Amino acid sequence: MAEKPVTQKAVKKPMKVKEVGFLVFIALMALLPFVLNLITGTGLNEGVTKFWQGQLIAFFIMAVFAMSYDLLIGFGGILSFGHAASFGGGAYAFGLLMKHWAPNFVKENPIMLGNTDLTMLVVLLVVLLVVLLVSVAVGLLFAVTSMRLKGTYFAMITLALSTALFIIIKSTDLHEWTGADEGLHGISLPVWLNPTQNRLTVYFITLAFLCVSYLLLRRFVNSPTGRVIVANRENEDRMRMIGYNPVTYRTIAFVVASIFAGLAGMFFSIWNMSATPTMISAVTTVNALIMTIMGGMGTLIGPIFGAAISQIIQQFFYTWFGARWPLIFGVLFILIVMFLPYGIVGTWRLQKGNLREGWKRLLRLFTTKSEAEAPESGQKPPSM
């Protein structure tokens, strides 16, 4: 056979590299505010240190949103153009409750345990629960509506659904509640959760959110259920013939992705202290798509990379190129797609086997004894 088969190594080793990388990432991120603080000499909640915490908060949140999107398109092969509905759904669920329900409730129903006031904690837990329920509902809505559709029709219905929600949220009839076009502003947050007053707390909460989401999603995609979702991407007909119902697994993928997107939306509305229609619009979905493609579809680390790059680009390109920055970003994006067709992480995984082989060949030049040829390329597919 002309081609040497590409092999995928067992699950034995690669975990270690991942674990180390993950721990290094946590350590770096946890130390960063303090390092900046030392270097710049400004306080933790002011100046450059505060600014960079803000940038990273946005990155942490968008990374989770991008991972949740990749669960759909990269792992499940489910090309949804309405994923922003989950993100915005979580944001609005949080914003609406915190603005219109929580303040009065806190005033009228103080919940005390001895001398400690638990009211805010209870309120936040209730709101979190509602955000989760809304996310599940949005996921189910998409799964059920698109159940029998495929290809272009499927993509269209997901776009139509999220656009419908976008229009509803923007409608002037709801102005009193949602702020219509302008969005929902003035969400009241407890002081400790207020990103202006206590940015470091929000920083660590969102960092934890990213880490926990990554670990949970990694588990999920390697669980029996996750593996079947990947099989759904690969070959729906064959999946059916060995006894799996594709609709069931697509629904699970939709709901799980929606939960993480909804939570990301909630944190985004905490970070901005607002929820805006843009968060539900196709622009937001496309952002996640761009992050996923840049980083590497079908991987979890890829979207994290993608979110980081996107955040950096948004920041620096504006100062470098002014209002033209999206144009430059567009060109850069095209170049990335051309040169790294599987994204940064995907292409790395494909090529690192070749790199290793290259090093081996190089080393062989310097070793005298002729080793038995073991042409075993450790290449991996861009998936998983």
Partner 1 sequence: MANEVLIEAVNLSKAFGGLIAVDNVSLQVREHTIHAIIGPNGAGKTTLFNLLSGVMPPTSGRVIFKGNDITQVSPQRRAHLGIGRSFQITNIFPNLTVLENIRLAAQAMGKDNFKMLHLADNFRQYIDRAEEVIGVVGLEGREWVLARNLPHGEKRKLELGIMIACSPDLLLFDEPTAGMSSEQVPDLINIIKRVVEHRNRTAILVEHRMDMVMSISNVITVMNQGRVLAEGSPHEIANNPQVQTAYLGDLYGELA
User: Nearest distance from residue 360's CB to partner 1, in Å?
Assistant: 19
* Shortest distance in whole angstroms from residue 355 CB to partner 1: 19
CB of 220: closest distance to partner 1 in angstroms? 6
Cβ distance to partner 1 smaller for residue 181 or 234:
234
Residue 237 beta carbon to partner 1: minimum distance, rounded to whole angstroms: 7
Query: Minimum CB separation from partner 1 for residue 74, in Å?
Result: 12
| Angle at the Cα of 272 from the Cα atoms of 269 and 276, rounded to 5 degrees | 65
Q: 83 phi and psi, to 5 degrees?
A: -65, -25
As a whole number of angstroms, the distance between CA 350 and CA 52 comes to 33
DSSP 8-state class, residue 45: T
Tokens coding 365: 């030049």
Q: Which is nearer to partner 1, 196 or 235 (CB)?
A: 235
State how far the alpha carbon of 85 is from the alpha carbons of 96, 151, 164, 279, in Å: 16, 20, 10, 8
Query: Which residue, 252 or 344, has its beta carbon nearer to partner 1?
Result: 252
How do beta strands 274-275 and 184-185 pair? antiparallel
Select 194 or 236, whichever has its Cβ closest to partner 1.
236
**Which of 40, 133, 113, 90 is closest to 275 using CA atoms?**
90
Residue labelled with tokens 């409750």: 97
Q: How far is the CB of 226 from partner 1 (least distance, A)?
A: 7
**Which residue bears the tokens 């915190």?**
98
Rounded to a whole number of angstroms, the minimum distance from the CB of residue 381 to partner 1 is 5
Q: Looking at beta carbons only, is 333 or 357 nearer to partner 1?
A: 357
Tell me the C-alpha distance between 221 and 75, whole Å. Answer: 8
Nearer to partner 1, 72 or 230 (CB): 230
In the bound state with partner 1, the residue whose beta carbon lies nearer, of 2 and 113, is 2
Cβ neighbours, 10 Å, residue 309: 20
Q: SS3 of 368, please?
A: coil
Residues forming the site for partner 1 (CB under 8 A):
1, 3, 5-11, 216, 219-220, 222-228, 230-231, 234-235, 237-245, 252, 256, 381-383
Structure tokens at 112: 């005390």
